[in-house]
Amino acid sequence: METLVRVKVAELLKSKPGKEILVKGWVRTKRGNKNISFVALNDGSTINNIQVVFDMNLFSEDALKPVTTGACIAVKGELVESPGSAQAVEISAKELLLYGTADPETYPLQKKGHSMEFLREIGHLRPRTNTFGAVFRIRHAMAFAIHKYFNDKGFVYLHTPVITASDAEGAGAMFQVTTLDLNNLPRTEDNHIDYQEDFFGRAANLTVSGQLEGELGAMALGEIYTFGPTFRAENSNTPRHLAEFWMIEPEMAFYEIKENMDLAEDFVKYLVKYALDNCADDLKFLNDMFDKELIGRLESVINTEFIRLSYTDGVDILMKSGQKFEYPVSWGTDLQSEHERYLVEQHFKKPVILTDYPKDIKAFYMKQNEDGKTVRAMDVLFPKIGEIIGGSQREESLEKLQQRIEELGMESSGLWWYLDTRRFGSAPHSGFGLGFERLLLFVTGMSNIRDVIPFPRTPKNAEF
Ligand code: 4AD
Ligand code: MG
């Protein structure tokens, strides 16, 4: 059997009939009678299965008995034209090898139509379902497209650290990283924990954002991006928050907020178009099974110009809307997802880039406007999701930045290296962060962020 090279199902389904082939995969279904057995086989290379036909004159009933849903097999046979209308080709089996059985009494994925909640409980097996196969193939395609987009534009992929000693920006509560013995902590004379004894000789955390290090890169390489995992220990159990999520953070020297917005809009449109062009089968499946408006929504985003609006005008619209919100809104309050979605879904019916937020609800590094009240922030808001991107032009003046750090009562001594970018050869620059899983919620139409990452990390949940 092994003398033939294995061909993946995706390729077989596109091949012309009439050749000997070897295929390997997991059984999705088996049906048939005494004379003939039909096995739908999937190997993860496509949402589609290949039909393997067993002539029961060639195979014993005993040989086919363990070929049940979930079992893993290899089949040698001939690729032939299929008489059925559901597929162009099928495999007429000649030899069967059973790699691994899946006891029908205990294999949890017997039938279709399990709830997403149930599938989360068997997160180790859910990649074998059609839905998660589609989602993870799309996730891969989007990751690839992100690198392609920036590479084609001459951006440098900069690896920023996962472990940091700085609280990047107060973006969220942090996970501490330590090798100290928690049952026997070393103490200083005034009874504080003695971090000099810790691995790094100081307290350290998992990063909440690669931006500050990204800025160091941009001020040398011009245009960079980071794409890595970020960690936030917020106890927010929502369908849009993870404790470990992936973020794409471009940072560009010489970009002001207008160019920053142009890049963000062009970037997400490119990614959505890439998915439509390259993930058609998977998107069609998700569209048919979960969300009949999915493909229409994706197409509408690439064909529309995003609305650009100031926070002040946005709040005005919300206050005049007559809408009852769970959280009241007025100038100065942070917008909740219900407000963002009202603007996008009800009012404008298209994506919105909201700019110039009050400085008190945004991070210290954002460029201050002349009005003394607002900063050059930009959040991109999407239908069904709310905020998908957060970014800004950065404050390039050392003096203003130091003043803001002081106003906020932040510890500036730990930021000396960051402030050096403003001390030496400072320049206007901008950047943003795209939440990878938020993008995937939009592209796949899934409604819970736990279902677009293979192994979700949320409060009280890190089993697999
Ligand atoms: O708005 P955020 O906090 O911005 C930053 O971290 C900046 N340093 C980015 C930058 O300018 N370079 O986060 C950026 C994006 C959000 O818009 C959202 O899409 C996503 O990251 N995000 C999360 N995604 C999943 N789970 C969470 N807990 C998230 N927190 C933020
Ligand atoms: Mg934000």
What pLDDT was estimated at residue 151? Answer: 98
Ligand 1 atom 31: residue of nearest CA: 435
Range 271-294 average pLDDT: 97
More confident of the two residues 334 and 167 = 334
Other CB atoms within a 10 A radius of the CB of residue 241 amount to 19
Residue to probe by mutation, ligand 1, list 139, 150, 247, most atoms within 8 Å of CB: 247
* pTM of the full structure: 0.97
**Ligand 1 atom nearest 392 alpha carbon:** 11
Which residues sit with their C-beta closer than 6 Å to ligand 1?
169, 171, 209, 211, 232, 241-242, 245, 247, 249, 387-391, 431-433, 435, 437-438
Inform me whether the pLDDT recorded for 113 exceeds 90.
no
- Return the percentage of the chain with pLDDT > 90, whole number: 93
Whether the per-residue pLDDT at 221 is higher than 70: the answer is: yes
The per-residue pLDDT for range 14-59, each reduced to its tens digit, is 999 999 999 999 999 999 999 999 999 999 999 999 999 999 999 9
| Ligand 1 atom, smallest distance to 249 CA | 12
**Whole-angstrom Cα distance, residue 406 to residue 56?**
81
Ligand 1 nearest-atom number relative to CA 234:
28
Atom of ligand 1 lying closest to residue 168 CA:
8
Ligand minimally distant from the alpha carbon of residue 235: 1
pLDDT value of residue 225: 98
Backbone angles phi, psi at 456, to 5 degrees: -65, 140
203 Cβ contact partners less than 8 Å away, ≥ 6 residues apart:
165, 176, 178, 195
Q: How confident is the model at residue 411 (pLDDT cuts 50, 70, 90)?
A: confident
What value does the mean pLDDT take over residues 90-100? 98
Structure tokens at 39: 């096995």
- Ranges of each domain in the chain: 9-100, 126-172+208-451
**Class of the CATH-defined domain 9-100:** mainly beta
pLDDT in the model for residue 159: 98
Domain 9-100 matches domain 126-172+208-451 at the CATH topology level: no
The tens digit of pLDDT for each residue in 66-89 reads 999 999 999 999 999 999 888 899
pLDDT of 168 reads 53
Q: Which of 196, 228, 232, 193 is nearest to 211 (CA)?
A: 228
Residues 6+ apart with CB under 8 A from 341: 381, 383, 384, 385, 386
Q: What is the pLDDT of residue 268?
A: 98
Ion ligand 2: residues, CB within 5 A, are: 390
Stretch 175-183: mean pLDDT, rounded? 97
pLDDT > 70: percent of the chain: 98
Q: What is the pLDDT of residue 124?
A: 95
Q: Which of 238, 375, 438 to mutate to test the pocket of ligand 1 (most atoms within 8 A of CB)?
A: 438
- C-alpha 390 – ligand 1 centre gap (Å): 6
Specify whether the CB–CB gap between 251 and 218 falls below 8 A: yes
- Topology of domain 126-172+208-451, per CATH? BirA Bifunctional Protein; domain 2 (3.30.930)
- Ligand approaching nearest to the C-alpha of 172: 1
Asked whether residue 280 carries a pLDDT value surpassing 90, the answer given is yes
Helix, coil or strand: residue 105? coil
Question: Mean pLDDT in the chain?
Answer: 96
Coil/strand/helix, residue 402: helix
